Every structure is written in structure tokens, then in C-alpha cells.
Chains A and B, each alone.
Chain A
């Protein structure tokens, strides 16, 4: 989850990274009671980059300006998102603008400190100016100083900037962040620093063990529901991928496991068919609160057939815990339930695992087409496609 700017700055403030005086604005009228002196900057609070370019950040010299700016920004969607609130912040003049960030390097399997002397919106990430320092052992402030020096800083700017990096690292490690970024970090000639904009990405697997992040996540969910009463809590419907509006094959795919889903989509394409949509119903998870594979399969089949363009559903399952006969029972029950909803696409089932033979019997007794071989199931799916491009397998 990406935090909003004001949330990121609350975290910065807690660890002593300097931020400007600011105030949250939920209604334009609140500028009449603004607690910070003009001139100010009014900033849209959406979790997206490129807000300035999109017109989501405007300066204001007085209350009239500020209310006009706020009205415009509240009505400005940025990549489809309207702000729930704005941030009014004091204006600041920097002598220099730097870029600082910490992310995880997957291959090195360590956090990496990133920094550039050329911060601000014009930063070119491919440029040579971006410096990297890998934190390969326990963090110590020297890593931060290495980065500051590599960024070309001299004199007291080194301590000022490395101090900010240390504090960023403390947040990164203690809050389980995927990303912490300050861009720009203003640096004045007297050594004063100020975080003018910040981005914090919290790791979704770790949010629940941080009370403050859990609270931010809850606020965001409430805001989302206020805006969109159909906002879904259902991770499966979020996982449903519609491939291509132009795809007219009629094929929908339901698989378990990300790798298998990718492979199945590849095989269909190889067989000349571009699926309309596909859905990974996930692996076998037996954690508190997790739904069973059978439940997710049932829900997944309902989701994939909700699109009338899907006239044929290819179910490709490799069972590891749940036996095939149990999965087959779910498929039979769900297809019958969907038939009553007048959803009766072609069903092609490929199912292997424990008790494969019982699974086959169960499916065939219900009149569903069963295949053990993936290639044969792909060919059968391709035959049911409405407009096979070039059926290499047929």
C-alpha cells in the first residue's frame, strides 16, 4: 500500500526528518481557518506520482487563491482517482533539490540506498547521477555517509543528508516498507534540509503488525467505499484479468497458481487463441481467515462467467492438497448453479493430482469434458473458440 503524502510526512516527522508546517483540508471553506501563513502550496492527496504535471499541485498567495485552487484540485482526477483531502503546506525556497530513496534489491537480497544530486520532478532515473549503496550487513550510519559522498556532497551537507538517510532507514526497517522516497529533499547552503515531498510504500504482508499503518489502511478503505459503493473487498475479483477488449475467442481461463496461469495463457496463445480473460484462484492456503481452494474455485467460475463475452471456460487445475474428486464435485455443483443463472458456456476441465481417476469419473458422469493431458485440453479449448486465429494444435 502506498501512503498518501501527508501520511508519509507524519511518519517522517515522528523520526525527526524535517517537514514543513502543513494542514489537512477536507473542504475548501477550511482555508478561512488556515493555521499556516501564506504563501502556501495546495496539494492533491492521491497515491500517484506526477501530481504536479497533472495539475494537482497549485501555489496560493491568499485565501481567495487557495479556495479556487482547492475547488479545482478536488475536481481533478489523477489517473482516475479524486482526492479525499488536500494538503496545504508552507512554501519553501531551496538552494538545491536532491533525491533519496531506499528499496529492496531482490537479487542482492538486501536494502539499497539510492541518491541523486539532481532531485525534483525532472530526475532522470537512467542517468549516471543516481548512486546506489547496498546495505549488505547490519545498518550503520557509514552507509548513509557513503551515499552522501557518492552524491557529490561536501562539508556539512554530508552530515545533514546522511542524517536524513539514517532516519529513513530507521523507518524502512522498523515499519517493513517496500519503498521510502524523498523527492525532492531541499538543501540550503547553510545545511538545513527539508523533505518537500515523500512517498512511502508499506509491505502488504507486514501492515498488520504496525498499528499506525493498519490505521492508514483502514482510512483508505473507508475513503474508497465512500467514493465507490461497489468497491470490492474480494481479492479474487481484483485478480481477474481481462486480457484484451478486442479478444473475441470467447475463452475464459481459471487456474490455480500464478506460474500455471501464465503457462496456460501462453499455451492457448501458442494454440492460436487469445483468452478474453483469465483468473488465478490461488494456491492451497490454510491460514486463519483464508478461504479454501474449493470456495475460491466456486467464486472464480462465477466471476469468469459474469462476462457474457465468455462462451467457453477452460479450467486448468493441478491439485496438491485437495483431492481431484473434491475439486470435481465443486466444479459440477458450480456449473449446475451457474446453469440456473443461464450461464452455460462450454466447460473444458483439465484436472490432475490426488485421486485423478475419481475426479474424471465425477466430471464425466455430469457430462463435462475431462482431459488429463494439458496439450489435449488446450486443443479442445481452441476448438471451442469462436475465432481461432491459427490452430496449431488441432
Chain B
């Protein structure tokens, strides 16, 4: 995963208010935002149309032709336009996509995943906070003040909770190598396992924090993957130990845990309920330390890292 100060970033949907706010913050952080796309707002007459100080084009193709190759795109378009925007990015040769928009119809996401798999493109989201390499490059919605450069990678699937974890590490003097948000939608472009593999191979990352929560079975699969394939120290936090049966009520606009569907799965496969307890047990069975609260993570990271170091020197 080569996200750096040289990573060239595109914003799709720059006319969305959220895109403009974040484009300005990303640019102020030093991210190279080389172009933006919004159909109908492009630079036609050579008048150098810009929004949020970014040259705007009608199509991704034109953006690439004019601004040059693009490494990463952040998609902010409304939910029903996400599939098309992502396909347009893939067709123009872009291979890293962060979908910030949430509430994308799941069949659209599945179609998008098929297109991304065929092109070997990596997708974060829908409902992703994006990716940040502290001190170098921010793509998405991360509050950049919370992050400091360092060697710990964070993979999460929430938003504010993931920010909280980064802040906790930063305040304890533990910097981060890269932090990614998988997204809050039911069907997601990439998984904990994919990013564990990426961070395992990333030279800047020495340890990994997984931030999980109740619902689904993403954490259980991650635990199995860590046990089978990951050499770097991994620690975890899981929110929702006391959520009990109320997880169906955690809905808000954009993300509603679909209790009805999980009800079906509950009947089919009892292991798929996704309680916090199950996830914690899965992590512990894989040798992953699980923090009882976010502020315990720095200490667990130190323990896990020193253990690996001592076993390596032994």
C-alpha cells in the first residue's frame, strides 16, 4: 500500500458540500488533490473552473487526460450514483477507491465489487472514512488533528469510534502508519482480512489495531485470518459488549443494522449472530489481546510489541 505525500488524489462529486469541506482540509494537510469531477461543472472553455481550489472536469477521463495519472479517488456522489462513479474511475485506470457516501443499495455495491475484482482495484466503503497516512496524506473524512506519524496501523469499520481510537493512541505517544475505515454499509468493498494482509506487507507498519463492533461476522473472519497469516502483533477493541439485543436500534440515517436479515441468519447459522462476546472470544482464541476500553489499547500494544521483539531475539 503505497499512500504517501506523492499520492495523486481525485475527488468525485466535488459539488457535494461534504466533499468541499473535506477537499479543503485534505489539501491543507498536504494531500495532492490533482483534480475533481462533477458532470456539468467542468472546465470547457479553458477558463480554469475550480471548486475548493481544485480543477473540475466533467468526466474522470478528462481529469486523467489533463491532470495526469491518478492513484486514489474519493467518491462523495449521492448513493444512487456511486456505482457509476466507481465504474467510471475503474474505466479510467484508477485502482484505489474510497467511497465516503453511505447507504448505497447493496446490489449496486455487489456489482461494483465484481467490477473492482476484475480490474484488481481496491475499494474502501461504502460509508468509509477513507485512508490517512499521518503527516503525509489524508483521503476522506478523518479529523487530521487526531493523528500523528508512527508505526501502528488502524483498521476499523466505524467513524467516530475509529477517530477516538486514533486520538487515544496519539495522546499516549503512539503514532500511526496508516488508518483505514472499511465503511458502515452492510456490503463492503474490502474486508479486515484484505487490509491485514496489506498492513502486514507494509514496511512502515509494525503493529495493527483492529476496531470492531457488534453485528456481522467480519471480526471473526479477521481473527481466523490473523491466526493463519499475520506475523505482526495485532490488538483489538470491540464495541457493544452491553448492546445485548438492542443492536437493531443503533440505526441512524445511512446505517441501520438490519435486524431482520440477521434474524434469518440467526436461524440458519447460529455462529453468525455477531455478538461482541463471540468476537472477543474469536480474537482471544487467535492470540489477539482485546482491550476492555479504548484507553487500554496503548498498554496492550506495548505488551504485544515487546513480546514479538523478545521472541524474535530469543
Contact = CB atoms under 8 A, between A and B. Distances in A.
B307 interface: no
B220 to A, nearest CB: 9
Given A179-B264, A259-B239, A265-B242, A270 B218 contact: no
A249 interface: no
Nearest to B296: A375
A352 B293 contact: no
A315 B256 CA distance: 22
Nearest to B21: A321
Interface residues of B, number: 75
Interface stretch (A35-43, A56-64, A189-197, A278-286): A278-286
B312 interface: no
Nearest to A322: B21
A11 interface: no
B107 interface: yes
Given A179-B264, A258-B213, A283-B252, 20 more contacts: A2-B260, A104-B186, A107-B217, A111-B110, A114-B268, A137-B114, A239-B252, A241-B249, A256-B160, A257-B159, A259-B160, A260-B161, A269-B241, A270-B292, A280-B252, A286-B17, A318-B143, A318-B163, A320-B159, A374-B164
Nearest to B261: A178
Interface stretch (A65-73, A204-212, A335-343): A204-212
A107 B261 contact: no
B163 A243 contact: no
B240 interface: yes
Nearest to A240: B249
Interface string B186-212: 111001000000000000000000010
Interface string B1-30: 000000000000000111001100000000
For the complex of A and B, list the 7 residue pairs with the smallest distance between their C-beta atoms, beginning with the closest.
A259-B158, A259-B161, A257-B160, A125-B267, A282-B252, A206-B105, A262-B239
Nearest to B270: A126
Given A262-B213, A320-B142, A239 B251 contact: yes
Given A125-B267, A201-B260, A374-B295, A321 B141 contact: yes
B68 interface: no
Contacts of A283: 102, 159-160, 252, 254-255
A154 interface: no
Contacts, number: 198
A262 B264 contact: no
Contacts of B106: 104, 176, 178, 203, 205-206
Contacts of B22: 321
A209 B213 contact: no
Interface residues of A, number: 67
B84 to A, nearest CB: 13
A51 interface: no
A394 interface: no
Most buried by B among A106, A284, A287: A106
Most buried by A among B21, B156, B264: B264
A34 interface: no
B120 interface: no
Contacts of B264: 101, 103, 125, 179
Contact of A178 (B110, B250, B258): B258
B241 A282 contact: no
B149 interface: no
B246 interface: yes
A290 interface: yes
A106 B158 contact: no
A15 interface: no
Contacts of B253: 235, 282, 285, 290
Interface of A: 2, 101, 103-104, 106-107, 109-111, 114, 125-126, 130, 137-138, 172-173, 176, 178-179, 201, 203-206, 209, 235-236, 238-239, 241, 243, 255-263, 265-267, 269-270, 274, 280-288, 290, 317-321, 352-354, 374-375
Interface in B19-66: 21-22
B98 interface: no
A110 B217 CA distance: 15
Contacts of A375: 293, 295
A263 B79 contact: no
A369 to B, nearest CB: 19
A352 B187 CA distance: 30
A219 B120 CA distance: 44
Nearest to A257: B160
Contacts of A106: 186-187, 216-218
Most buried by B among A2, A255, A262, A269: A262
B36 to A, nearest CB: 16
Interface string B151-178: 0000011111111100110000000000
B144 to A, nearest CB: 9
B245 to A, nearest CB: 11
Contacts of A274: 242
B243 interface: yes
A282 B254 contact: yes
A206 B104 CA distance: 8
B163 A258 contact: no
A120 to B, nearest CB: 15
A331 to B, nearest CB: 16
A178 B211 contact: no
Nearest to B104: A205
Nearest to B214: A262
Contacts of A203: 105-107
A286 B268 contact: no
A375 B15 CA distance: 39
Nearest to B162: A259
Contacts of A282: 252-254
